[in-house]
Amino acid sequence: MTAQEKRNRACKKLLVDVHAITDKEGLTPSALHAIKLKLVALAGKKELFPLADFEMPVAEGRNHPLLVEDNDGHGLYLTIGLPGKEAAPHDHGIWCVNAAIAGRECHKFFRRTDGMTRPGHASVEQIAEVMVEPGTGMAMSDHDIHSTEVLGDEPAVGLALYGYALVRFPSVAWYQPQFGSIRTTPSRRHAAMA
């Protein structure tokens, strides 16, 4: 069996396990924690994810689909972030779990502190920080806000599991704390479903 065949089998097994967890519990914090542990275990099998099988990013980062379910199913990706890659605080609108294969990525978590009464205006404050490196991961619920930064001299290579495939993402909200502003990207859901 080739590395790709082993990888495909392991990814399918992960998604079967994820559905078993969410069918039993829903998307509770304990369910997301259990999913994170499964994803960390899969990321620990580095032999399934040789970098030679995945094209490196030309700039900043790249997502390689590993298993994308049909309709409103989940999306599992191998992600590569180059050193220094950053993403401002944002809300995917859907749950996400990450686990590291190699490298280090800092995830900072935020909460909104404004009353959400002025369009285009938002203030956020940092409430937590998690370092995602080999042997660790992070999980976030729908509408959690986080920022990311790849630290160190090597790319951050990891696994990312989203509640929806990237091509079916809802609108993403991006926060600019230094300006007290918020902007949103269009939802991909309707275009992907058409």
* Interval 13-54: pLDDT, tens: 999 999 999 999 999 999 999 999 999 999 999 999 999 999
pLDDT-derived band at 115, boundaries 50, 70, 90: confident
Pick from 93, 124, 94, 120: nearest CA to 109 = 124
pLDDT-derived band at 190, boundaries 50, 70, 90: low
Alpha helices in 44-120 (DSSP H): none
CA distance 88 to 108: 10
Q: What is the pLDDT of residue 144?
A: 95
The secondary structure element, H or E, covering residue 99 is: strand 96-102
CA distance 82 to 127: 26
Question: Which pTM was predicted?
Answer: 0.92
Residue of 181 and 18 predicted with greater confidence: 18
Pick from 167, 174, 165, 172: nearest CA to 86 = 174
Task: Name all domains of the chain by residue range, CATH numbers in brackets.
Answer: 3-184 (2.60.120.10)
